[in-house]
Structure 1
């Protein structure tokens, strides 16, 4: 399969932007949104579009069909002529770059999970700020079952989200979490009734899209950096971020509105 053209039509993802919200909807429902090379390439395309569009104020990730994504497409793997390791290297190139870009956006990300979320598809959970899951959703790495080591940033994110012991359990023992356990472990934010998932996720995305986007971007960066910085380094970064956001149009308007006892209207500037 060749490289997907940046400006061409997308076949495995539905991508729309409306009212400041970019919606990334995985669209291989017959395959339960399993990831092949084309989906990985198209995810990178839409990640770059999100990064380039200054009018985007929030991102919503979801999936058509019975699952958000079951991870790698095993049938696709077996049909490819090249050795599996070479194929995995080709796939993780665009997939990991997409996750890297999405994790560094200013606009916050909401992921709506349902059915199953497994393997590299868990990257769509890791890079989100809020993850809403329908009841009966299952989460699993699944790598040990097929003798591979893992992708999607899980070895970086999982120890930070659930702790190193629980991360080892999910990787080495293929521990499957239901939605309630996923909340308890800190993997996701909230469990909602299945028929309310889309509505609740869209409402949350709209709420975030009405907020101070530049400040959100600095918050996302600071929270990410805190894992690797010393306290002194983090305090310096907080001062710099505060100076940057304090000079923004949104902060100026919001501070003046607060002083005047008015509700601010943020424009993401």
Structure 2
């Protein structure tokens, strides 16, 4: 790439894994230091990345590139509805008076880190399978649905929601599946909704919010209607929707390193996953309010005390102990389990669907509100400074 051009990263990751590059004119400069030569090499390594590094990293890349080649930001902040423009401007502006050479060094270090991280995870991600963002396997009656984006803390993209719905339907329809488990790859259970779903918005935001509400409604409904025993094996931190749907599970086993966090008001949003109904019933109105209104993060032990978690087990032996237990459960008669679950759950099914509808309607309104937009932009700006 010529020195007369700069990289401007697109946040629309739905069209492919590699960041798209756009070119705009840059005044002629003469920077032939050893740092600048490494900076040029780093730009080429960026183009060779085999997968999208994620919006948080792309914000840092964009900001450091602009600071390296242009210097301190001198333009006005984009308007309220330009989500991507505001996030990029905030990330660049956050670099303040960093010199161009300092920015180049930081850019080189970041690209080196990203290239190494992607190389480490490429082998696992290269395995062909039915799903792209989850794994679903069944052995001797026990089906394991694994959220499989460890480099992104198992955050849910729009496609992830559809894949989980499809995997639950597959488990429900499969006569060989007796007990179904959800768990996470790597150190996280799931960090919930991937906020790149917000920055990838193109078109009428209100229509896109409605479509997202329909998607979320369908996702939560798959848990409400799941007829067989459903168990969460929470191997690490769980955030957002991955926590709220736990009120619809039949058991939740947690590693003693797990945490549970629903930071809705921090992000200008509101509860989902039927948690506005299930959490007060499980843990009482006061404890539910601490989580759903005031963003309290629970340890595994605290979550067990309030009834959200069935049992906490030591991290070192967590997977072995839980899976051995669930393998025994998977040998029980499936019809007996299905009928018993129906007796304990069916009376509330209609209520849960009504709650799900109300929650999704409220979220559609929240996603287009000024306070939600500002909170999301604040989140990305804070991430870009880290």
1:110 to 2:196 alignment = no
Q: Which range moved further: 179-188 or 65-74?
A: 65-74
Bigger radius of gyration: 2
Match of 2:321 in 1: 200
Q: CA deviation at 1:160?
A: 1.8
Instruction: Tell me which of 232, 236, 243 is aligned to 1:122.
Output: 243
Match of 1:155 in 2: 276
Match of 1:40 in 2: 161
Deviations 1:132-187 (A, max 9, x none): 11112111111110101122221122122112222122111111110000000000
Match of 1:20 in 2: 141
Match of 2:377 in 1: none
Match of 1:184 in 2: 305
Match of 1:239 in 2: none
> Would the alpha carbon gap of residues 88 and 112 (structure 1) be closer, same or farther in structure 2, given more than 3 Å must change?
farther
Q: CA deviation at 1:75?
A: 3.0
Match of 1:262 in 2: none
> Would the alpha carbon gap of residues 85 and 14 (structure 1) be closer, same or farther in structure 2, given more than 3 Å must change?
farther
Aligned positions of 1:1-269 closer than 5 A? 1=14, 9-82=130-203, 86-225=207-346
| Preserved CA contact (<8 Å) 2:181 2:230 | yes
> Would the alpha carbon gap of residues 196 and 82 (structure 1) be closer, same or farther in structure 2, given more than 3 Å must change?
farther
Structure 1 unaligned segments of length 5 or more: list them: 3-7, 230-269
| Preserved CA contact (<8 Å) 2:282 2:308 | yes
- Measure the CA separation in 2 of the matches of 1:84 and 1:154: 26
Q: Which range moved further: 192-201 or 82-91?
A: 82-91
Structure 2 unaligned segments of length 5 or more: list them: 1-13, 16-128, 351-386
| Preserved CA contact (<8 Å) 2:141 2:178 | yes
Q: Secondary structure at the match of 2:270?
A: coil
Deviations 1:108-138 (A, max 9, x none): 1221113211111114522321111111211
| Preserved CA contact (<8 Å) 1:104 1:221 | no
> Would the alpha carbon gap of residues 82 and 183 (structure 1) be closer, same or farther in structure 2, given more than 3 Å must change?
farther
- Measure the CA separation in 2 of the matches of 1:101 and 1:90: 17
| Preserved CA contact (<8 Å) 1:25 1:64 | yes
Q: Secondary structure at the match of 1:211?
A: coil
Q: CA deviation at 1:225?
A: 4.0
- Measure the CA separation in 2 of the matches of 1:95 and 1:54: 27
Q: CA deviation at 1:78?
A: 1.9
Aligned alpha-carbon RMSD (Å): 2.4
- Measure the CA separation in 1 of the matches of 2:206 and 2:308: 28
> Would the alpha carbon gap of residues 207 and 105 (structure 1) be closer, same or farther in structure 2, given more than 3 Å must change?
farther
Q: Secondary structure at the match of 1:14?
A: strand
> Would the alpha carbon gap of residues 74 and 154 (structure 1) be closer, same or farther in structure 2, given more than 3 Å must change?
same
> Would the alpha carbon gap of residues 82 and 50 (structure 1) be closer, same or farther in structure 2, given more than 3 Å must change?
farther
Q: CA deviation at 1:11?
A: 0.5
- Measure the CA separation in 2 of the matches of 1:228 and 1:96: 14
Q: CA deviation at 1:49?
A: 0.7
